[in-house]
C-alpha cells in the first residue's frame, strides 16, 4: 500500500511537471497492472453496419418480427426512445457517435480491483451534451419517483465526478470514463491531466497484439494471464494446471490446456469477414516444448496435422482433427486421476468384451493413424423401405489404417460379430434384425447391415427410429469409413479425395464446419416432432409451438455456415470461430 502511494505521488509530481497532453488511446491512461483490455473500435459504425445490412431488412420481413412490432411493450419502448431523441436534439445513433466515435474500452485493473469503461467521444461539445442530458433524465426520474438525487458530486483536482450507488463517472475533454473504484478513478484523472509516463500502452506484449489487430476488427481484447495463474482461486488453478481429468475434455481441448499452462496472455478479436463475423483467439505457443504427454494432441514435436476435410455433396457437418486416441488411451495413467483411471479400467474390460477380446487401446484404436474425420449428412429415404418417423442424420468416422491388409480383415470380422451380437440382443428386446450385405466399388468394398422390416411393415412413414441406421464399414486402400448408414459410407468412399496441401508453417489441428442449409433441412424433416417436443417442454399450445418452431426454421435460413478451427504455427495457437450469413 505504502509503496504504491509513494509511487503515485511521485507520478503526480512528475505529471505536474510534464505538460498536459491529450491521450490518444485508453491504454495510455490505464495503469501497467491492467489485466484485461477490451476495445470496440467504433460502436456507431458497428451498429450502422448491422442495421443497414440487407439481412436486417430481411429479418424485419419475418412474420414473427412483424408480430413483435405490434406488442405494446415494443410500442411503449419506441415512444420512450423518440421522446429522448427529441430532448437530445439528435437521433440515438447520433448520440452513440457523440459518445463513442473514438471507441469504447473496458478495462480491469487488479491492483485497484477497479473496472473502468472509457468512451472516447466525437468531440467535447457533443459528448457533454449527451452526458448532461442523461444526468438530467436520471435526476428527473428520481424526483418523479420521490427518490433522492441519484448523484453525489465529488471533485478531484478540479474534475467533477458523479458518484452513484456502485461507482461513478466523469468527463474530461472528449473522454467519458465510468468505473467502480475511486482509486482507479483518481489514477485515470491524473493521467488525463498530466499524461502518464508508465502506462499500459508500453506493455510490449500488448503493443505486439495491438499492432497485429486486423483493420477489419470490430472489437478486440487482450488478457494478461500471468496474474490469473498466480491467483489463489481454485477454479483458475484447475484451469492452469494443464490437467483435464476428463477423457472427453482431454480429447477436445487437452492441447489448449497444455498451452494455457505457459502462455503469458491471450488475445481475441471480432472481425467482420465477407458475409459474416469471425471470433479469433490467439495464445503464444511453442511447438517444440510440447511434452510427450500431449503428443496425442499436437503430434511429436507439435508436427501433427489434420487431414484436409473430405467434402461430400450436401454435407451437414464435418470435422477433421489430428488426435492420437490410442496414445491418449495408453497414457491415461499419467493424464488422469485414479478415479478416472478406475473408470477407464472398467471401460477397457467392457470394450474388450465388446470387441471380441481385442485390446481396445492397442488392437482397435492403435491400428488407425491419428488423422480422424467425422462427417455427417442428412439422409434420403426410399419409398420401398420403411421410413422412420424421426429422421436422424447419418454420421461416419473416416480414418486411415496403418496396415490396411491386416486391419481390413480384422475389422471386417469384428463388424460381422458386432452385427451378430446386435441381432441376438435385438431379438431379445424385440428390435428389428440386421441383414448383412456385401458390395464392391471402384477401389474398395463395403460390408453393410440393413434393418429388416417385420412382415406387413415393409413400407410406411412411421417406422421405428432403428430404420435410420444401416451400419456400414467401407475399405478403400488405406482408408476406413465406419458409417451409421450405407448411403453416407458410399458417398464418402466414392468422393474425390482432397489433395493434401503441404502448407507453410501453419498446422491445422482441428477444423469443424456446420452447414446451415443442411441443418435447416434436417430439422425441417422433423418439424412435427419439434412441434410436439415444444408443446411438452414449454407447455405451449399447438399454435404457439408451431409459431416458435416456424421462427427457428425461418431464422436458420439466414445462415450459410459456422466453422471452428484450431491451428498452430511456430509461435502461436489460434482458435477461430466464424459464422457466415446466407448470400
Partner 1 sequence: MIDPAWAWSPYEPDKNGWTRRQAAHLFRRAGFAASSDELDKAISQKPNEVVSSLVNSRPETDQYQQEISDLARSILASSNVKNLPAWWTYRFLTTNDPLREKTTLFWHGHFATSGDKVTDAKLMFQQNEMLREHALGDFGAMVHEISHDPAMLIYLDSATNRKAHPNENFAREVMELFCLGEGQYTENDIRELSRCFTGWEIRNGKFRFNRYQHDSGEKSIMGQKGKYGGEEGVKIVLDQKSAPYFIVGKLVRYFVSDEPAPSNALLKPLADQFVNGNYQIGPIISKILSSHLFYSEHSVGHKVRSPIEFAVGFLRTLNGSTNLNELTSGMSELGQIPFFPPNVKGWDGGRTWINSSTLLARANLIRSLLDRTETRFNPGSLGDFMDHLGAKTPAKVVDLWEELYLAVDLPQEVKSQIANKIEAGKGNREQKLRDALHLFCTLPEFQLS
Partner 2 sequence: MPLSRRQFVALSAPAMMTFGASSPRFLAQAAEQAKQNRRENILVVIQMSGGNDGLNTIVPYENDEYLKARPTLSISKDDVLKINDELGFHPAASGLNDLLQQNRLGIVQGIGYPNPNQSHFESMDVWHTCLRKSENRPDGWLGRAIDEMQITQKRDVPALHLGNRKQPFALTSRTHRVPSVKSLEQFRLELQKRESLKDIRSNVSFNRSDSSSLLNFVQTSTDTAIDVSQKLQAVTSSYKTDVTYPETPLGKQLKTVAQLIDADFSTRIFYVEIEGFDTHSQQAAAHTALLRQVSGALSAFLADLDEHDHGDRVLTLCFSEFGRRVTENASKGTDHGTAAPLFLAGNKVKSGLIGKHPDLNNLENGNLRHHTDFRQVYAGILKQWFNASPKEILHGNFKPVDVVKA
Please tell me whether residue 464 binds partner 1 under the rule CB under 8 A.
Answer: yes
Give the integer Cα–Cα distance in Å for 306 and 79.
Answer: 55
State which of residues 465, 497, 506, 570 lies at the interface with partner 1 (CB under 8 A): 465
Please tell me whether residue 548 binds partner 1 under the rule CB under 8 A.
Answer: no
| 542 to 70, 85, 535, 545: CA distances (angstroms) | 22, 41, 6, 5
Cell 509461435, residue? Answer: 571
Report which of 310, 306, 284, 307 is spatially closest to residue 297, judged by C-alpha positions.
306
Please tell me whether residue 388 binds partner 1 under the rule CB under 8 A.
Answer: yes
Min dist. Cβ of residue 66 to partner 1 (A): 21
- Site residues for partner 1, 513-532, by CB under 8 A, read 528-529, 531-532
Residue 91 or 241 with smaller CB distance to partner 2? 241
- Site residues for partner 1, 21-60, by CB under 8 A, read none
- List residues bridging with 39 in a β-sheet: 105, 220
Part in contact with partner 1 (CB under 8 A); list of ranges 25-33, 97-105, 112-120, 462-470 = 462-470
Please tell me whether residue 536 binds partner 1 under the rule CB under 8 A.
Answer: yes
Part in contact with partner 1 (CB under 8 A); list of ranges 166-174, 259-267, 341-349, 460-468 = 460-468
Please tell me whether residue 352 binds partner 2 under the rule CB under 8 A.
Answer: yes
State which of residues 207, 273, 341, 494 lies at the interface with partner 2 (CB under 8 A): 341
Report which of 501, 503, 484 is spatially closest to residue 492, judged by C-alpha positions.
484
User: 230-246 burial, b if ≥16 CB within 10 A, otherwise e?
Assistant: eeeeeeeeebbebbbee
Residue 66 or 349 with smaller CB distance to partner 2? 349
Min dist. Cβ of residue 425 to partner 2 (A): 13
Alpha helix (H) residue ranges in 355-485: 404-429
Give the integer Cα–Cα distance in Å for 491 and 478.
Answer: 17
Please tell me whether residue 143 binds partner 2 under the rule CB under 8 A.
Answer: no
Query: How crowded is the C-beta side of 510, counted as CA atoms within 13 Å?
Result: 22
State which of residues 540, 553, 557, 560 lies at the interface with partner 1 (CB under 8 A): 540
Report which of 499, 53, 583 is spatially closest to residue 310, judged by C-alpha positions.
499
State which of residues 85, 286, 359, 439 lies at the interface with partner 2 (CB under 8 A): 359
DSSP for 502-531, written as a single string = --SS-EEEEEEEEEHHHHHHHHHHTHHHHH
Please tell me whether residue 427 binds partner 2 under the rule CB under 8 A.
Answer: no
C-alpha cell at 488: 453416407
DSSP SS3 for 552: helix
Instruction: Number of residues interacting with partner 2: please give it, by CB under 8 A.
Output: 14
DSSP SS3 for 359: coil
- Site residues for partner 1, 215-274, by CB under 8 A, read none
Residue 532 interacting entry, from partner 2, partner 1, none, C-beta within 5 to 8 Å by type: partner 1
Please tell me whether residue 499 binds partner 1 under the rule CB under 8 A.
Answer: no
Please tell me whether residue 348 binds partner 2 under the rule CB under 8 A.
Answer: yes
Please tell me whether residue 346 binds partner 2 under the rule CB under 8 A.
Answer: yes
Min dist. Cβ of residue 568 to partner 1 (A): 42
Please tell me whether residue 422 binds partner 1 under the rule CB under 8 A.
Answer: no
Residue 139 or 464 with smaller CB distance to partner 1? 464
Residue 280 or 470 with smaller CB distance to partner 1? 470
DSSP SS3 for 309: coil
Q: Is the dihedral of CA 284, 289, 292, 296 positive or negative?
A: positive
Please tell me whether residue 430 binds partner 1 under the rule CB under 8 A.
Answer: yes
CA dihedral 118, 123, 125, 130 (to 10 degrees): -50
Rg (CA), the chain: 30
Q: Which residues bind partner 1 (CB under 8 A)?
A: 388-390, 429-430, 454, 462, 464-466, 528-529, 531-533, 535-542
Q: Which residues bind partner 2 (CB under 8 A)?
A: 339, 341-343, 345-346, 348-350, 352-353, 356-357, 359
Amino acid at each position: 500500500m505504502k509503496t504504491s502511494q509513494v509511487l503515485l505521488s511521485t507520478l503526480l509530481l512528475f505529471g505536474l511537471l510534464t505538460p498536459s497532453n491529450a491521450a490518444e488511446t485508453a491504454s495510455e491512461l490505464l495503469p501497467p497492472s491492467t489485466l484485461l483490455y477490451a476495445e470496440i473500435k467504433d460502436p456507431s459504425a458497428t451498429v450502422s453496419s448491422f442495421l443497414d445490412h440487407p439481412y436486417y431488412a430481411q429479418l424485419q420481413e419475418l412474420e414473427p418480427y412483424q408480430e413483435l412490432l405490434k406488442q405494446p411493450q415494443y410500442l411503449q419502448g419506441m415512444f420512450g426512445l423518440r421522446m429522448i431523441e427529441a430532448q437530445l436534439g439528435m437521433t440515438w445513433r447520433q448520440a452513440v457517435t457523440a459518445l463513442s466515435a473514438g471507441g469504447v474500452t473496458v478495462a480491469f485493473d487488479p491492483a485497484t480491483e477497479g473496472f473502468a469503461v472509457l468512451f472516447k467521444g466525437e468531440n467535447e461539445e457533443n459528448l457533454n451534451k449527451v452526458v448532461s442530458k442523461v444526468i438530467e433524465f436520471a435526476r428527473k426520474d428520481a424526483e418523479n419517483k420521490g427518490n433522492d438525487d441519484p448523484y453525489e458530486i465529488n471533485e478531484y483536482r478540479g474534475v467533477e465526478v458523479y458518484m452513484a450507488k456502485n461507482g461513478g463517472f466523469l468527463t474530461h475533454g472528449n473522454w467519458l470514463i465510468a468505473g467502480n473504484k475511486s482509486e482507479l478513478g483518481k489514477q485515470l484523472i491524473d493521467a488525463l491531466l498530466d499524461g502518464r509516463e508508465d502506462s499500459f500502452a508500453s506493455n510490449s506484449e500488448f503493443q505486439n497484439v495491438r499492432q497485429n489487430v486486423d483493420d477489419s476488427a470490430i472489437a478486440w481484447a487482450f488478457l494478461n494471464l500471468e496474474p490469473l495463474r498466480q491467483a489463489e482461486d481454485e477454479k483458475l488453478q484447475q484451469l492452469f494446471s494443464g490437467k483435464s481429468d476428463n477423457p472427453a475434455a482431454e480429447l477436445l481441448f487437452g492441447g489448449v490446456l497444455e498451452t494455457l499452462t505457459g502462455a503469458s496472455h491471450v488475445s481475441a478479436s471480432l472481425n467482420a469477414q465477407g458475409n459474416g463475423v469471425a471470433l479469433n483467439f490467439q495464445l503464444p505457443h511453442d511447438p517444440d516444448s510440447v511434452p510427450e504427454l500431449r503428443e496425442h494432441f499436437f503430434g511429436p514435436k507439435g508436427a501433427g496435422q489434420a487431414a484436409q476435410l473430405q467434402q461430400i455433396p450436401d454435407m451437414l457437418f464435418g470435422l477433421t482433427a489430428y488426435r492420437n486416441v490410442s496414445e491418449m488411451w495408453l497414457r491415461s495413467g499419467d493424464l488422469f486421476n485414479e478415479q478416472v483411471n478406475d473408470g477407464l479400467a472398467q471401460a477397457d474390460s467392457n470394450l474388450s468384451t465388446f470387441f471380441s477380446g481385442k485390446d481396445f487401446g492397442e488392437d482397435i484404436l492403435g491400428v488407425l493413424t491419428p488423422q480422424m474425420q467425422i462427417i455427417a449428412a442428412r439422409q434420403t429415404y426410399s419409398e420401398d423401405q420403411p421410413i422412420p418417423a424421426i429422421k436422424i442424420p447419418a454420421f461416419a468416422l473416416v480414418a486411415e489404417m496403418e496396415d490396411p491388409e491386416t486391419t481390413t480383415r480384422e475389422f471386417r470380422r469384428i463388424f460381422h460379430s458386432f452385427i451378430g451380437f446386435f441381432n441376438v440382443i435385438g431379438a431379445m428386446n424385440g428390435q428389428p434384425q440386421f441383414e448383412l450385405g456385401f458390395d464392391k466399388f471402384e477401389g474398395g468394398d463395403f460390408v453393410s447391415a440393413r434393418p429388416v422390416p417385420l412382415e406387413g411393415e415393409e413400407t410406411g412413414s412411421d417406422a421405428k427410429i432403428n430404420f435410420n441406421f444401416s451400419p456400414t464399414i467401407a475399405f478403400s486402400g488405406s482408408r476406413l469409413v465406419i458409417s451409421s448408414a450405407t448411403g453416407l459410407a458410399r458417398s464418402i468412399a466414392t468422393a474425390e479425395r482432397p489433395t493434401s496441401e503441404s502448407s507453410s508453417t501453419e498446422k491445422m489441428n482441428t477444423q469443424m464446419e456446420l452447414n446451415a442449409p443442411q441443418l435447416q433441412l434436417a430439422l425441417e424433416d422433423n418439424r412435427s416432432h419439434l412441434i410436439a417436443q415444444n408443446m411438452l417442454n414449454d407447455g405451449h399450445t399447438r399454435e404457439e409451438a408451431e409459431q416458435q418452431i416456424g421462427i427457428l426454421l425461418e431464422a436458420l435460413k439466414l445462415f450459410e455456415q459456422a466453422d471452428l478451427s484450431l491451428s498452430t504455427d511456430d509461435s502461436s495457437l489460434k482458435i477461430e470461430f466464424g459464422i457466415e450469413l446466407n448470400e
